[in-house]
């Protein structure tokens, strides 16, 4: 019986044997390094405008065509995974699965654990952590953005649009 190892170059985590996943046990450090590698490759760290008010939230998302990998990320980040319908006009498009983390406190903790292992998205993670540290709530009402919060939003926007130039 042949075994297909997924992501072998990054320290194989999942093995597929007739559709049954077998998880190799990882240390806590290896787990966060592996998750950081996945986020570096197929993830997104950004600030999104929430509602029609000037209010931003940090979004950490991961998309992949391999459901098992997305389910693993979703399980480790304690979020749900979702299926996204490929565009109808794209012929032979694979199914796309995604996991999103919006929670202010959890997103900051996750990014802090991944930060030492991120390479491509290290700057985005640093900015997101800084934004969440500056971000304040008072009596349930959002205070106006600090100048540095607006600068962070603009920096993140530039970083996330680098490939479009």
pLDDT of residue 23: 61
What does the alpha-carbon distance between residue 154 and residue 156 come to, in Å, rounded to a whole number? Answer: 5
Higher pLDDT, 40 or 1: 40
Domains of the chain: 27-164 (3.10.28.10)
Query: Quick one: pLDDT at residue 48?
Result: 84
Q: pLDDT by residue (tens digit) across 43-55?
A: 999 988 776 666 7
Reported as a single tens digit per residue, the pLDDT across 61-74 is: 999 999 999 999 99
Indicate yes or no: pTM above 0.85.
no
State the Cα angle at 106 between 104 and 108, rounded to 5°: 70
Residue count of the chain, please give it: 165
Backbone angles phi, psi at 122, to 5 degrees: -60, -45
Average pLDDT over all residues of the chain: 79
- 159 versus 114: which is more confidently predicted? 114
Taking residues 108-118, what's their average pLDDT?
A: 96
Q: Does pLDDT of 108 surpass 80?
A: yes
Q: What is the pLDDT of residue 111?
A: 96
pLDDT digits 0-9 by tens, 15-63: 444 443 456 788 999 999 999 999 999 999 998 877 666 678 899 999 9
Whether 60 and 44 have beta carbons less than 8 Å apart is answered as yes
Residue 86 · residue 93 · CB < 8 Å: yes
Question: Which residues make beta-bridge pairs with 22?
Answer: 15
């Amino acid at each position: 019986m042949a075994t297909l190892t997924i992501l072998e170059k990054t320290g194989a985590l999942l093995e597929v044997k007739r559709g049954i996943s077998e998880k190799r046990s990882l240390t806590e450090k290896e787990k966060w390094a592996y998750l950081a590698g996945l986020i570096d490759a197929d993830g997104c760290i950004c600030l999104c405008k929430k509602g029609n008010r000037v209010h931003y939230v940090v979004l950490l998302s991961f998309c992949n065509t391999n459901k098992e990998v997305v389910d693993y990320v979703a399980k480790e980040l304690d979020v749900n995974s979702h299926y996204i319908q490929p565009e109808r006009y794209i012929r032979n498009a694979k199914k796309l699965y995604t996991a999103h983390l919006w929670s202010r406190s959890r997103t900051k903790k996750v990014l802090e654990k991944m930060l030492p292992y991120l390479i491509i998205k290290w700057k985005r993670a640093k900015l997101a952590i800084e934004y969440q540290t500056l971000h304040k709530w008072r009596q349930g009402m959002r205070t106006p953005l600090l100048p540095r919060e607006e600068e962070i939003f603009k920096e993140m926007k530039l970083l996330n649009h680098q490939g479009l130039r």
